[in-house]
Structure 1
Amino acid sequence: MQLNNQTYQIQGVNVLDIADEFGLPLYVYDANKIIEKIGALRDAFPGVNLKIKYAAKALTNVSILKLMRLQGIDIEVVSVNEARLALLAGFEPAQIMFTPSGNSWPEIQEALEMGLQLNADSLPLLELIGQMYGNKYPVALRINPSITEGGNLKIQTGHGNSKFGIPNDYRAEIKGIVEKYGIPLVGLHIHTGSDFKDGNTFLKIADVLFDLATDYPNLRFIDFGSGFKVAYRPGDHFTDLTDLGKKVSAAFRSFCDRYGRELELCFEPGKLLVSESGHLLTEVNVVKKNPTRTFAQVNSGLNHLIRPMMYDAYHHILNVSNPTGEEHLYDVVGYICETDTFATDRMLPEVRTGDVLSFENAGAYGFSMSSNYNSRPRPAEVLVYEGKPHLIRQRETFEDLLRGQEIIELETTVLNKIER
């Protein structure tokens, strides 16, 4: 979001005009920012056969998925319903990588029958696929490398105590199952978490994957997952894609030479592609003072953006409607009946009742992790594409909260019990 002549704009559109047209709270995404991030990732890996697969769980709106497809990238999903959304967006089944994490067997079967590329994450699952299907379906493996890297512990997925992936310690057991059933193994995958600051973590991952790859001569791809660090505040550190690309590309080309042929080098960015594109616009309901704090209470909460409460995540906050006001210290909080804090001791231009605040970097794991807690409807979503805002999800209503409920008659039964 850019500040031009004291107004915040997305692709030249005044953010306050978007708020007036579609109401608040509101998720707004900048398509140009998504396209920019895809281009930056591609440019960082010259000279290798790079495949980008968008990690759909970050933001699953079908219009966002369609934008990804139009940029020529594939997609990674963790549920059959995410795959269905991808198909609606125009992806072919062969473009969809399905990485379950303890999903039910019927869901696994459905994914295979849909033609998705399965990424098996456990020895029992690999064994069951062999028993049921033999060599019918090509399979990739998610490996746990026992590497502890990244940010908050809740987003570290590659350490030895994590539930994710098959521990590399079971290398012999993996090979035994693959050979026993003749399972066509086409790819190796690792995702160790998020918020890696430099390329050295990926080189550690590469050592594990490249060594394991020597057991399987018919691989098509090596998948490094994701883990890219994005900047959440001005001056914040972020993954240097140029440095990362240089280091990993060199290591990958050397591996392919040893392997005897060129493979695909894959990444599955989610947050990198959509985080900075997203803005959660909210309205200030109350400015409330107590002896030690001044609270700016907005018409949203952890039901719409749970990352601050769940991960202690920082989101930069802009006072869109009063950007030049004198700065004061605020706790920015939500309207949920729960400790519901977006920011503590945050310096902001004077906040007044009715002001519009924007939570930045809200594109990833914002709407996709939202809920109806406190029986609150979820916000609308808008995509600014080619200089025009488009409504891509309607705001929920009270009727949406009732959808699927069956209201049964209880009054007579209760009265009869009381009379007895």
Structure 2
Amino acid sequence: MNNADLLSIAKQFGGPLYVYDAEKIKFQYNRLSNAFSGVKNLKLNYATKALSNISVLSYIQKLGAGLDTVSIQEVRLGLAAGFEPHTIIYTPNGVSLNEIEEVAALGVQINIDNLSILEQFGSKYPKTPVCIRINPHVMAGGNSNISVGHIDSKFGISIHQIPHLKRITENTKMNINGIHMHTGSDILDIDVFLHASEILFETAKHFKDLSFIDFGSGFKVPYKTGDIETNIEELGERLTVKFNEFCKEYGRELTLAFEPGKFLVSEAGYFISKVNVVKQTTSTVFAQIDSGFNHLIRPMFYGSYHEIENISNPEGRERFYSVVGYICETDTFGSNRKISEINEGDFLSFKNAGAYCQTMASNYNSRFRPAEVLWINEEAHLIRKEETFDDILHNQVVLDFSELI
């Protein structure tokens, strides 16, 4: 997909707009699969929270993926998209026992990350297969907001609680069929990830009836030219050796599972918005677009970088702009960026907008959430309509104040 394709889509559907390149998703899926081709049993469970459009889920299911979910709503989306229950893993955090029971009743693989719920669930449903999420106490990510495997994280059961964990599983005679960890996004150092995997292998030795070990994900993708990314090929080569050696020691061929989200869809996504105003102050030239952090919150939420291109004038003379939104708070997408000369009415494209962009969108300022388009086989297909004012009002209830005041 190139800028000409994006501009054509922008002119067809207008902006703001999310666009996803199916071929890029497929490329990333195959890249990860090939990196671990030396593993006999590999399962890639796509992390729904990254991008949950049902057409995207259905496409990824056709590639052969399973599904990683964190809520019963995501589970139901997966089932609606065509995933079989046994291909879905459910890894919530801090949810009620009732929700976990509802998901288990659907036949989905349960993954529990705290001792309290583990004991309650095991006491009531000892025969139901359960995976256990371990906190390896490893800081593998570069951003504290998305690094979830460190010692102060709310996620997972601490490796220091293994004795308590074993006591619960032995007392309840639970069916523990998997061990899981997730260190968080933006893995910068393969050696740190491999160190965490050794901790997971040691934990797995405490459980004799495992069928899989889930290493989570969090592989870093590049956000600009020359940016660092996780070397998937090297990780695949080195972790494959370790995993196969462990399976021999364990005495059984286990499944190696991952939960790629951002890795599969981030680079496949583009966010397109139109420039409303070019405004010059004493020191800055602002390009003010018809969007804000209600549609793309990541730069404001945790300082993510999105490369910005003027797809209406890609060959124009480069100038420096601060690209900002229309929200009545500071919503800066990029400061002092070198971009081809911008005129009012031009379309700008934000790269790496496939993961955690639409799924984190809101109706702040009562603005509509944009449409979504999937680019597949050189054609643009609408996969979500732009919201309307009726959508804003749909679940609101207007009181009759003549009877209340």
Aligned to 2:372, the other structure's residue is in SS state strand
Displacement, 1:50? 1.2
1:101-137 per-position Cα deviation (integer Å, ceiling 9, x unaligned): 001222111001111100001000100112222x220
* SS of equivalent residue, structure 1 residue 336: coil
Of 83, 98, 105, which residue of structure 2 is paired with 1:106? 98
Aligned to 1:264: 255
Identity over aligned pairs, percent: 50
Give the CA deviation at 1:149: 1.9
Aligned to 2:196: 205
Residue 127 of structure 2 corresponds to 136
Q: How does 1:207-226 map to 2 (within 5 A)?
A: 207-226=198-217
Query: Does residue 378 of structure 1 match 2:380?
Result: no
Instruction: Provide the C-alpha distance between the structure 2 equivalents of 1:413 and 1:264, rounded to a whole number of angstroms.
Output: 62
- 8 Å CA contact 2:318–2:339 kept in 1: the answer is yes
Aligned residues of 2:140 and 2:188 also touching (Cα < 8 A)? no
Match of 1:359 in 2: 350
| Cα distance in 1, alignment partners of residues 35 and 97 from structure 2 | 38
Matched, 1:254 2:249: no
Give the 5 Å matches for 1:378-417.
378-410=369-401, 413-414=404-405
Give the whole-Å Cα distance in 2 for the aligned partners of 1:31 and 1:193. Answer: 25
1:13-24 aligned at under 5 Å gives the runs 14-24=5-15
CA distance in 1, matches of 2:53, 2:218: 22
The one of 67, 74, 81 equivalent to 1:75 is: 67
Q: 1:202 offset after TM fit, Å? A: 2.1
CA distance in 1, matches of 2:124, 2:339: 60
Alpha-carbon distance in 1 for matches of 2:84, 2:42: 19
Q: CA deviation at 1:411?
A: 5.1
The equivalences for 1:57-206 within 5 A come to 57-133=49-125, 135-206=126-197
Structure 1 vs Structure 2 CA RMSD: 1.0
Tell me how far apart the structure 2 counterparts of residues 138 and 267 of structure 1 sit (CA, whole Å). Answer: 18
Distance 1:381 1:80 in 2: 23
CA contact (8 A) 1:198 1:243 kept: no
Give the TM-score normalised by the residue count of structure 1.
0.95
Specify the alignment match of 1:418 in structure 2. Answer: none
1:296–1:351: 8 Å Cα contact kept in structure 2? Answer: yes
Write out per-residue CA displacement over residues 45-88 of structure 1, whole angstroms, 9 at most, x where no aligned residue. Answer: 12212110000000000000001110011000000110111011
* Alpha-carbon shift at residue 98 of structure 1 (Å): 0.2
- 1:335-393 residue CA offsets vs partner (Å, 9 max, x unmatched): 11111010011111111100000000000001000000000000000001111110000
Q: Deviations over 1:156-215 (max 9, x none)?
A: 100111100011100001111111011010000000111112421221111111101111
Shift of residue 227 of structure 1? Answer: 1.2
Q: Which residue of 2 aligns with 1:237?
A: 228
TM-score w.r.t. the length of structure 2 is 0.98
Unaligned runs of 5+ in 2: none
Counterpart Cα distance in 2 of 1:352 and 1:151:
36
2:363 corresponds to 1:337: no
Once residues 290 and 382 of structure 2 are traced to their aligned partners in structure 1, the CA distance between those partners, rounded to angstroms, is: 20
Amino acid corresponding to residue 277 of structure 1 in structure 2: A
Cα separation, 2, equivalents of 1:400 and 1:259? 54
Separation in 1 of the partners of 2:290 and 2:90? Answer: 36
Could you tell me how far apart the structure 2 residues matched to 1:160 and 1:15 are? 43
Native 8 Å contact 1:31 1:384 kept in 2: yes
> Where do 5+ consecutive residues of structure 1 fail to align?
3-7, 415-420
Cα shift at 1:412: 6.3
Equivalents in 2 of 1:384, 1:296: separation in Å? 27
**1:244-284 deviation line (CA, Å, top 9, x unaligned):** 10111011111111111110111100000000000000000
Aligned length: 404
Q: Any conservation in 2 of the 1:202–1:224 contact (CA below 8 Å)?
A: no
